[in-house]
Amino acid sequence: MKNEKKRQILFAVLCASLLIALDLLTKTAARRALSGGPIELIPGVFELHYLENHGAAFGILQNQRVFFILITAVFLAAAVFFYAKLPADRRFLPLRVITVFIAAGAVGNFVDRMVFSYVRDFLYFKLIDFPIFNVADIYVTCGAVAFFIFTVFFYKDDDFNFIKKKKG
């Protein structure tokens, strides 16, 4: 089973790397393409609108870069620990996929904070005036919702005994 676990970890790193690359590529393209202003894709509904976000979701905690870097580092350590503890069997595949998406989203925005001191956002639902977001935010949000749904409706408390097990 150890080889299977190593294979899963390697595959997770590869998938996360691809997801992070996609996020960073879309942010770079948005920065270049939207320098002249927003592009309305669906009039009155959805547009590409470049924004340099110095805070978190919904613009909260503006200019708290060190805080975000520390929180992201702690979160990523927890995600790696959780992934490493997940049993290799097929039943836990959804949690492995979810963890990869959430971690990739966190890293995508972490890279922005480290390189630019802000996060590049560019997706805007004008119809409902939803805060501008990016691909990494989609990974984190969808992953968190999926994690909630799976842990509440699919997995049982006993499924998470692997976290408490001590080898000895």
Q: With 0-12 CB in 10 A as exposed, 13-18 as middle and 19+ as buried, what is 6?
A: exposed
**Rg, C-alpha atoms of the chain:** 18
Q: Does residue 164 lie within any of the structural domains?
A: no
Q: How far apart are CA 144 and CA 146, in angstroms?
A: 5
Q: How far apart are CA 62 and CA 98, in angstroms?
A: 28
Q: Is the pTM of this model over 0.95?
A: no
Q: Does residue 56 lie within any of the structural domains?
A: yes
Q: Does residue 161 lie within any of the structural domains?
A: no
Stated as kind and residue range, the H or E segment containing 53 is strand 46-53
Q: How far apart are CA 23 and CA 139, in angstroms?
A: 9
Q: Does residue 163 lie within any of the structural domains?
A: no
* Residue 39 domain boundaries: 2-156
Residues with a known catalytic role:
121, 137
pLDDT at 168 (0 to 100): 46
pLDDT at 164 (0 to 100): 66
Q: How many domains does the chain have?
A: 1
Q: How far apart are CA 156 and CA 39, in angstroms?
A: 46
Q: Does residue 165 lie within any of the structural domains?
A: no
Q: Does residue 149 lie within any of the structural domains?
A: yes
pLDDT at 44 (0 to 100): 94
Residue 28 one-letter amino acid: T
* Terminal Cα-to-Cα distance of the chain (whole angstroms): 18
- 40 three-class SS: strand
As averages over each run of 10 residues, the pLDDT of the chain (168 residues) reads 84 97 98 95 96 76 76 91 88 95 96 93 95 96 96 84 62
